[in-house]
Chains A and B, each alone.
Chain A
Amino acid sequence: MSSKTIKVDVLARVEGEGALYVNIKNQRVADVKLRIYEPPRFFEALLRGRRFDETPDITARICGICPVAYQMSACHAIEDAFGVHVEGPLRELRRLLYCGEWIESHALHIYLLHAPDFLGYEDGIQMAQYHPDAVRRGLRLKKIGNRIMKVVGGREVHPINVKVGGFYKAPSKQKISELGEDLKWAMYAALETVRWVASFSFPAFERDYEFVALQNPAEYPLNEGRIVSNKGLDIPVREYEENFAEEHVEHSNALHSTLKARGSYLVGPMARYALNYEMLSPVAKEAAASAGLGRDCLNPFKSIIVRAVELVYACDEALRIVNNYRVPEHPSVDLVPRSSVGYGCTEAPRGILYHRYRIDDHGLILDAKIVPPTSQNQKSIEEDLFQFVEANINAPKDKLQWQCEQAIRNYDPCISCATHFLKLHLEQE
């Protein structure tokens, strides 16, 4: 009986700690386990008894890579609880901050974490010896995303200026205008990024995913929308828990999310793109077309192209906001705590991030629920691996192992978030 095991004990170039185990028996994949051994930190428990206005600062600490996403979902959930809607220049400023995080996170993943897989390098630094211009371009793009976060949020990791109801201080017209020159270069660099990644070669692999993303009639989704899918789901954020289940499996410290009606689903750039193509700006649509993308993309290895198209969009959108910026009259709107439940869902760079809080009359949190994008993608990642390994069962073990790692990195998994993720074991019997 032939047997093979792929084991990756420390999955590299992902945010957080995880491992992968694949078992192959008699030329068939017997088992795939994505093990998240990142230690649990119990955020939903430690939020109990905290005051509503502490949630943006506390939940940011779930993830150093996408703190803005946590801050935004927390703010929207609590504003929902108190019946407040943030509009006008404050809403635009939030969108600008979020674009900054998308640019930083997407540039980091494309250039330093994912591109080395396609070009056969261990990391971005080794890649820099052979592709110095590309790596420098990626680092400068990343820096521009960080600069937006610094100007609007105060700093790159765990911004301090985000407040439930708006901001502590609105940046001056001049500070925002100064971002314009950088963003014009970033647009050019993002378009160059699309051309560069579209030239990579991609394993032939497609799956019929259920894509889940936010959708709203006005714009490509960041902060707001209904939760929709390409298989008929269309619900307001408050019905999330009625439609999705979280399952606790023994091999992982991250809970697995499923759609109660249909099982696994995919969140993130590929889902957003398929469900919101029409809302992309003309320059982003053009970049997608020139890279050979249709209205959707079913090959997860090509997610790097979709991510690059989103990078174009985020730079374009940030530039639009910068050019039209008006200083808000008040940096935040007033809130009156009341006994209530609030729901929030926003598009983190890796996909939808759901928060729900139950709050008492004094504004103290009674209980909290947080569902990060990577725990929603876990099942889909395992299914990709299952099918990919089965289709490539005779590939040399080293190559197969590297491609398995790459298949996981397609999702830009953020394990720190999901714990509540990678070693790779490939076992053949």
Chain B
Amino acid sequence: MPAPQKPKLAVWKFASCDGCQLSLLDCEDELLAVAGAIDIANFPEASRALMKGPYDVSLVEGSITTPHDEERVHSIRRSSKFLVTIGACATAGGIQALRNFKDVREFTQIVYAKPDYIETLNKSTPIKDHVFVDYEIRGCPVNKQHLVEVLSAFLHGRKPNIPNYGVCVECKRRGTVCVMVARGVPCMGPVTQAGCGALCPAYARGCFGCFGPKDTPNTTALSGAWAGMGVSDQDLLRVYRTFNSYAEPFRKESEAHEQ
């Protein structure tokens, strides 16, 4: 009897820093085991051997910012049984979505001497704006353990066990004293999805929202608390406009502080 065929994994990149797909290579202890259980069929950052689809799971990094990529993502969807986005760029447009609040032509002129050579869209948009996404892994960057968890979940036909509560819960579980209450340090933890292990408060700084908005975030109340600590509208605007600025709760809250 022939050996059962191994599931095929593909890794795709759009506008991004490569950090999330690097997180897969950063699974130093698990990498060879993962490679033993699945066929890494398309992962250009790691291999020059590129196999044709269809693929069982596609991991998609990066946001859509060019007309070509707008088309490419559809062909990836068509060749993938499950499509999982990895990181803030793919799930919320990334830091490059800051252009969505400005004029991209102006941005092009600032950086490039010959803007005519540059082909770019007005907006940087998440993958879900273009195709159906089966699962989103948050974070800037993703937590590498989440990658391993989601891959095993999809390959075994179960739901990934990833938290959707806020960073505050992780601080409590870790035993970190609240930086906002005890030290008056402004923190995004109350509105930000857990997953990083509440790193920043453990390093004596406020959370700055890498994992994007949690379920039902009360951003209005948080902004009120920050304002009470003397944070200006101008500063609040910048706080919501970082790596997940185009995720709806953060976008709307930032617009409330726009003068």
List the interface of chain A (C-beta within 8 A of B).
Answer: 10-17, 38-46, 48, 50-51, 54, 57-58, 61-65, 67, 108, 112-113, 122-126, 128, 135-136, 139-140, 142-143, 146, 154-158, 160-161, 163, 168-169, 246-250, 253, 255, 331, 367, 405, 414, 416, 420
Contact = CB atoms under 8 A, between A and B. Distances in A.
Contacts of A65: 18-19, 22
B44 A160 contact: no
A49 B145 CA distance: 35
Given A139-B31, A168-B203, A146 B45 contact: no
Given A40-B112, A41-B15, A155-B199, A12 B44 contact: yes
Given A54-B242, A64-B141, A157-B19, 6 more contacts: A45-B102, A125-B32, A139-B29, A156-B23, A169-B203, A248-B113
A13 B111 CA distance: 27
A248 B17 contact: no
Contacts of B155: none
Contacts of B17: 61-64, 67, 416
A136 B32 CA distance: 9
B247 to A, nearest CB: 16
A128 B47 contact: no
11 contacts: A12-B44, A13-B47, A16-B18, A41-B65, A45-B111, A46-B95, A46-B99, A154-B199, A247-B113, A405-B48, A416-B18
Given A39-B69, A64-B17, A64-B141, A123 B98 contact: no
B28 A142 contact: yes
Interface in B63-118: 65-66, 69, 94-96, 98-99, 102, 104, 106-108, 110-114, 117-118
Given A46-B95, A46-B98, A51 B111 contact: no
Contacts of B107: 42, 45-46
Nearest to A247: B113
Contacts of A113: 46
User: How big is the B interface, by class?
Assistant: 35 or more
B29 A143 contact: yes
Interface string B21-47: 111011011011001000010001111
B14 interface: yes
B238 A51 contact: yes
Contacts of A13: 44-48
Nearest to B69: A39
B159 interface: no
A126 B31 CA distance: 12
A43 B69 CA distance: 20
B117 A123 contact: no
Contacts of A10: 44, 50
A154 B31 CA distance: 22
A64 B18 contact: yes
B200 interface: yes
Contacts of A44: 110-111
B16 interface: yes
Contact of A158 (B49, B104, B140): B140
Contact of B204 (A43, A123, A143, A169): A169
Interface in B122-177: 124, 140-141
B49 A123 contact: yes
A128 B107 CA distance: 45
B49 A61 contact: no
A399 to B, nearest CB: 14
Given A42-B107, A61-B17, A135 B32 contact: yes
